[in-house]
Amino acid sequence: MKLLWPLFCLSISWSVCRGQTPDTSVCDPNANTGPPSPPIPDLPDSWHVRVECNFVDKNRTVEVEEYYDNTGNRGKITEYEIGIGVEAIYSYATNELILVVPQTEVGNS
């Protein structure tokens, strides 16, 4: 029984190390056969984006809005689904995350 624990740890370590390298039997990232990729664009120090995702097969819409402020070292993401918004406000300077979740009403019966 004492031998099983070291073997278990060794197999987990091997799996983690092996998982750090790409599986070239599926896709070889070094074999670029297409045209060269365009350069990565420069992003401004502060920006705002709104994305609406429509899942037709699930008859569902999700709206995500993100604000990023590099100067203030902070950001905010709001996700709306079924008319309910959940906010995540984060500070990179203090490594803090504040989640604002709406309170559900409990009916009086």
- Domain assignment present for 92: yes
Domain count within the chain: 1
| Model confidence pLDDT, tens digit, residues 54-95 | 999 989 889 999 999 999 999 999 998 888 889 999 999 999
The answer to whether residue 17 sits within a structural domain is: no
Got the DSSP string for 35-69? PPPPPPPPPPSEEEEEEEEEEGGGTEEEEEEEEEE
To which residue do tokens 């809005």 refer? 65
Summarize pLDDT for 11-56 with one digit per residue, the tens.
666 665 566 666 777 777 777 777 888 898 888 899 999 999 999 9
- pLDDT-derived band at 3 (thresholds 50, 70, 90) equals low
Residue linked to tokens 């097969």: 57
Is 108 a domain residue?
no
18 part of a folded domain: no
Query: Whose CA is closest to 86, among 104, 108, 106, 107?
Result: 104
Cβ–Cβ < 8 Å for 83, 89 = no
**What pLDDT, on a 0 to 100 scale, did the predictor assign at position 107?**
55
Region for residue 28 given its phi and psi (left: phi exceeds 0; alpha: psi -120 to 50; beta: otherwise): beta
Task: Tell me which residue range forms the domain holding 70.
Answer: 43-102
Would residue 1 count as lying in a domain? no
Whole-model pTM? 0.55
Residue 51 in any domain: the answer is yes
Has residue 29 been placed in a domain?
no
Does residue 4 lie in a domain region?
Answer: no
